[in-house]
């Protein structure tokens, strides 16, 4: 249901967080290496056949020049979520962030924070959950668990002795 693609195997550690989040939320996914620069034909084929293969959202992670999310978005009408990846050839990740963020009018890419694949997985699930009640319920449960974690942290803070000058 969600395609997770990245430009290089070195991006996998970051992009696995999207896959793990989707698994937690009960959303099917596939993962592949699709380089905009080194395998452009594969990228075109992947993007153009995505809907027919049952995909509903594409998460594309890329470092450096980070053209993959935008190029994929130019080839499909599916929502594309871009994950800028801080890679060995990036300028502290800013080149990747700006390459994905500054898309021209008409070719939107939802841009996550640097290495923000976990949030990409959540956003993809929310897109799918807008029409799938089962996924929507899992998201509601996930959000409740987040609230409970914050409430527990608040309790721990209250119990801890206050530092006073």
Which residue numbers belong to the known binding site for substrate?
8, 11, 38
Q: CA 55 to CA 30: how far, in whole Å?
A: 9
- β-strand 80-85 against 2-6: which pairing, if any? unpaired
Q: Which residues are annotated as a binding site?
A: 8, 11, 38
């Amino acid at each position: 249901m969600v395609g997770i693609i990245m430009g290089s195997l070195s991006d996998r550690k970051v992009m696995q967080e999207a896959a793990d989040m989707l698994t937690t939320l009960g959303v099917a996914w596939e993962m592949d290496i699709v380089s905009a620069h080194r395998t452009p034909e594969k990228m075109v084929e992947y993007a153009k056949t995505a809907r027919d293969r049952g995909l509903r959202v594409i998460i594309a992670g890329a470092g450096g020049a980070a053209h993959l999310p935008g190029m994929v978005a130019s080839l499909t009408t599916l929502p594309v979520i871009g994950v800028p990846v801080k890679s060995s050839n990036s300028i502290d990740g800013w080149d990747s962030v700006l390459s994905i963020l500054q898309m021209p009018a008409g070719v939107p890419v939802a841009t996550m924070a640097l290495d923000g694949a976990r949030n990409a997985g959540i956003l993809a699930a929310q897109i799918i959950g807008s029409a799938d009640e089962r996924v929507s319920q899992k998201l509601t449960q996930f959000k409740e668990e987040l609230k409970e974690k914050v409430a527990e942290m608040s309790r721990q803070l209250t119990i801890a002795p206050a530092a006073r000058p």
